[in-house]
Structure 1
Amino acid sequence: MATAVDTTPADTTDATDPGGAGKHSRSFGLPVATALVMGNIIGGGIFTLPASIAPYGTVSLIAFGVLTVAAIALALVFGRLAARDPRTGGPYVYAREAFGDFAGFLTAWSYWITGWVSNAALAVAAVGYLNVVLPVGGSHWSACLTALVLLWLPALANFAGTRYVGAVQLVSTVLKFVPLLLVAVGGLFFFDPSRMGPFNSSGHGAVGAVSASAALLLFSYLGVESAAVSAGEVRDARRNVGRATVIGTTGAAVVYLLGTLSVFGTVPHDRLVHSTAPFSDAVTAMFGGGWGGTAVAVAAVISMTGCLNGWTLLSAQTPYAAAKDGLFPAAFARRRRGVPTFGVAVTAVLASLLTAYNYLSGSTRVFDVLVLVTTFTATVPYLLATAAQLFHLVSGKGESVNRSRLVRDAVITTVAAGFSLWLMAGAGYAAVYQGTLFLFAGVLGYAVLAARRRRSAS
């Protein structure tokens, strides 16, 4: 049996949130929710991904297939959890409902860290692609200013309301998929198997090669939870969150697999392993000319801007849900035009400070460590969400008595849990160590908030 949920129209506003409604606040339908998932999964990494896994040979495509099945299993779990409890917050809501306040806080805290650090990383990466089109990276100051503009434009779209967030997300997703599909589908017509290179060029056994290439691919599917986190803004969330999550994850997987396969078959293997712009090389091989690099750069900037737009909203949604429950400072519960504006502002400010430090300190070491930590913090909510689903299945809470469906859900949840653990292991020992420190640093803040709640209740 699910816990009580918001009963306001379309689950988009609260009785205590008079600023949440209005003409600028609009719930997402299935197309925008799907675009949110696909747009957040597919960022800028796809533009370098084929070159990253090329040294392992075509065996890496097997790793891609295995990971795709596991990611879809995780998407199905989020769909089942959202059908049970379609409130804004996603993994935070599921973990807190199953295991209590502390688990909920750790989920919200880790997801928030992931959000603002990842936004800083996206902005820095986008500057590199934008510099191919416009000379914006001539100095640390100009590059820093450009990155800050790229951070704050999506934030301003969020301030304008969910209506504009959805519009930007839908348009950016469509625009970035045009060049990606050009390579993914068009490349099949120029496909030459002789260019793919050996099946296994890693120097290890097939199993070892699959595991090694999977470590690079694991993080390609971060973002499958996007619709679940914003469930309160999705129309008919019990139905559409699950559909959007599965469709969006499957769509992203198709683009990933076809794009990688096309690049493998159009760019010679010995050149691909040293490529810094594999999609650009693929376009040049397909059509000739020197415009491929510019086209890919434009697509990458559009892709990352769409990611920043979606992740800015998601980074504020989880603290918003936690603040409503007293597990984050109350200011994070402020919402205007359907968007947690205080959370958006704090996320943008923290990402801006980290970005500025990256450019102006003269060293990227601290920044690189923080980015690596997010690969760990992002998986904590996944693992707790799958644990919550396992809890419901074993306890029978709110589950159907249909035995075949119960077995199917148990298998899917087990695969999703294994995927979450695999993600965490793939982050590496150093990231897990640093991430654990980040995670438990929040415990001090939780102690203060819990003490205040108890004192207010007494």
Structure 2
Amino acid sequence: MHVTGTVPPPAPDPQETPAAPAPDTTRHARRFGLPVATALVMGNIIGGGIFLLPASVAPFGTISLLAFGVLTVGAIALALVFGRLAARDPRTGGPYVYAREAFGDFAGFLAAWAYWITTWVSNAALAVAAVGYLDVLIPVNDHRWTACLAALVIQWLPALANFAGSRYVGAVQLVSTVLKFAPLLLVAVGGLFFFDADNLGPFNASGSSGIGAVSAAAAILLFSYLGVESAAVSAGEVKDPRRTVGRATVIGTAGAALVYLLGTLSVFGTVAHDRLIASAAPFSDAVNAMFGGAWGGWAVALAALVSMTGCLNGWTLLSAQTPYAAAKDGLFPAAFARKRRGVPTVGVGVTVVLASLLTVYNYTSGSAKVFEVLVLVTTFTATVPYLLATAAQLFHLVSGQGEKVDRARLARDGVIAAVAAAFSLWLVAGAGYAAVYQGVLFLFAGVLVYAVMAARRRRAEGPAGP
């Protein structure tokens, strides 16, 4: 029985089950295999932030690596939860599907609404940040309208790949992931050969207690793992999703964590601590220290630009998948349920337009303060689907629904779900009071949208029986 008492969700759409053929069998639509699904997860987790991450945590000392390890455990636990939930229900929508199936329409809508806000605001933020790296290669920041145009182009190119079909989305994601990991692995692995322990600096440079330093470093690192849900959200476009989604999620999350840890460690060991704290391009400094010369800045800027473009490609697809799933259930406008060449094109179009408007507003306002507040809000809204999905897993485990499992497996899944829940709550705490406050206002605005959609759905169904 559903907690909310709403109409139980319909049976899974035959087009969304693994045994059914793909909704669109044209040459432009193609379901993702394990390599592309893994690239989607890794590419969406690792954007451009990694190129500044070592300098961001350097003031805390090498204790920040411990914070990385703790967060990695939480992120992998969340990845395992998504894998288990996708095996139970492999439909497109991810957290939306899991929350609605467990708790009813309202919880499902909140998951979809919060996730949708996260995606299009984050896309605008990624595009604006990418302009900074593009400026190293081509001067575009000399005038704000030139920078604005560049940001819009960076957003619309991945959108065009999505409009072309899921086949092209997968190809762009795979190629961009390979291209951006080449320089990252060069530093992450190559830096170990140039490692000098004297560069590490103090273990705890913050002056606070060990627990305080770990928590402070974690607050900066927490959002580095957003995107673990990528394969689950696109489960309907994945081959054999019951098996592939879980594997891709865990492999992609573990791979991203390995790159984060090795990359940060290598930069710590190749760039002197006092210089790293003040560095604006830590990976560039690491490359220059390893090989000499001054070409590191250009190389890292190019890698960051590729990284962000690939990240935008994946997030643009995800921004349309959750509204697509909600629209099929009557909780989002019906137009969002239209698919062409394996991609919900209306969702892609609406998302890129909203992100573009926010980008233009950022450049015309003359101040990035409002824009930065909105970006911080997404760090809260992203955790709402995580918490609801984790709660759905706990609900299934405690209620005993689904396939029967032995006690050992039940205990293991319970521990994993508890760790994932703690990780999700830690994400909320790390967002800060202001972001949580603003994020709740965004959620309450969604309640009004839900009221309208629920009323329209009730009217379409006709009067209830006696």
Question: Same-fold call, TM > 0.5?
Answer: yes
Equivalent position of 1:193 in the other structure: 197
1:39 equivalent to 2:43? Answer yes
CA deviations 1:73-107 (Å, max 9, x no partner) are: 00000000000000000000000000000000000
Q: Aligned partners of 2:84, 2:231: CA distance in 1, in Å?
A: 12
Q: Aligned partners of 1:354, 1:159: CA distance in 2, in Å?
A: 21
1:154 equivalent to 2:158? Answer yes
CA deviations 1:142-177 (Å, max 9, x no partner) are: 000000000000000000000000000000000000
Pairwise CA distance, 1:12: 10
Equivalent position of 1:456 in the other structure: 460
1:224 equivalent to 2:228? Answer yes
Q: Aligned partners of 1:7, 1:27: CA distance in 2, in Å?
A: 15
1:265 equivalent to 2:269? Answer yes
Pairwise CA distance, 1:6: 3.2
1:286 equivalent to 2:293? Answer no
**Contact 2:17-2:90 within 8 A present in 1 as well:** no
Provide closer, same or farther for how the CA distance between residues 81 and 167 of structure 1 changes in structure 2, counting only shifts above 3 A. Answer: same
1:109 equivalent to 2:113? Answer yes
Q: Aligned partners of 2:306, 2:357: CA distance in 1, in Å?
A: 23
Q: Aligned partners of 1:131, 1:401: CA distance in 2, in Å?
A: 55
**Contact 1:58-1:198 within 8 A present in 2 as well:** yes
Q: Which amino acid aligns with 1:56?
A: F
**Contact 1:12-1:338 within 8 A present in 2 as well:** no
Pairwise CA distance, 1:22: 1.3
Partner SS for 1:335: coil
1:347 equivalent to 2:354? Answer no
Q: Which amino acid aligns with 2:395?
A: F
Bigger shift: 353-362 or 236-245?
353-362
Unaligned stretches of 5+ residues in structure 2:
2-8
1:165 equivalent to 2:172? Answer no
Equivalent position of 1:388 in the other structure: 392
Q: Aligned partners of 1:330, 1:6: CA distance in 2, in Å?
A: 16
Q: Aligned partners of 1:359, 1:378: CA distance in 2, in Å?
A: 25
Partner SS for 2:14: coil
Among all aligned residue pairs of Structure 1 and Structure 2, give the percentage whose two residues are the same amino acid: 80
1:434 equivalent to 2:441? Answer no
Bigger shift: 254-263 or 357-366?
357-366
* 1:53-452 map, 5 Å: 53-452=57-456
Pairwise CA distance, 1:203: 1.1
Unaligned stretches of 5+ residues in structure 1:
none
Alpha-carbon RMSD across the aligned residues, in angstroms, is 1.5
Pairwise CA distance, 1:10: 6.6
**Contact 2:95-2:386 within 8 A present in 1 as well:** yes
Q: Aligned partners of 1:440, 1:315: CA distance in 2, in Å?
A: 20
Q: Which amino acid aligns with 1:439?
A: L
Equivalent position of 1:6 in the other structure: 13
Q: Aligned partners of 1:442, 1:21: CA distance in 2, in Å?
A: 35
Provide closer, same or farther for how the CA distance between residues 292 and 12 of structure 1 changes in structure 2, counting only shifts above 3 A. Answer: farther
CA deviations 1:99-132 (Å, max 9, x no partner) are: 0000000000000000000000000000000100
Q: Aligned partners of 2:194, 2:285: CA distance in 1, in Å?
A: 13
**Contact 1:12-1:233 within 8 A present in 2 as well:** no
**Contact 2:96-2:385 within 8 A present in 1 as well:** yes
Q: Which amino acid aligns with 1:362?
A: G
Partner SS for 1:8: helix
CA deviations 1:209-257 (Å, max 9, x no partner) are: 0000000000000000000000000000000000000000000000000
Q: Which amino acid aligns with 1:291?
A: W
Q: Which amino acid aligns with 2:97?
A: V
**Contact 2:17-2:91 within 8 A present in 1 as well:** no
**Contact 2:64-2:214 within 8 A present in 1 as well:** yes
CA deviations 1:372-404 (Å, max 9, x no partner) are: 000000000000000000000000001423000
Equivalent position of 2:28 in the other structure: 24
Q: Which amino acid aligns with 1:406?
A: L
Provide closer, same or farther for how the CA distance between residues 86 and 74 of structure 1 changes in structure 2, counting only shifts above 3 A. Answer: same
Provide closer, same or farther for how the CA distance between residues 348 and 66 of structure 1 changes in structure 2, counting only shifts above 3 A. Answer: same
**Contact 1:13-1:21 within 8 A present in 2 as well:** no
Partner SS for 1:4: coil
**Contact 1:12-1:234 within 8 A present in 2 as well:** no
Q: Which amino acid aligns with 1:304?
A: M
Q: Aligned partners of 2:20, 2:461: CA distance in 1, in Å?
A: 26
Q: Aligned partners of 2:377, 2:457: CA distance in 1, in Å?
A: 31
Bigger shift: 242-251 or 360-369?
360-369
Q: Which amino acid aligns with 1:321?
A: A
Pairwise CA distance, 1:3: 7.7
Partner SS for 1:305: helix
**Contact 2:163-2:343 within 8 A present in 1 as well:** yes
**Contact 2:99-2:111 within 8 A present in 1 as well:** yes
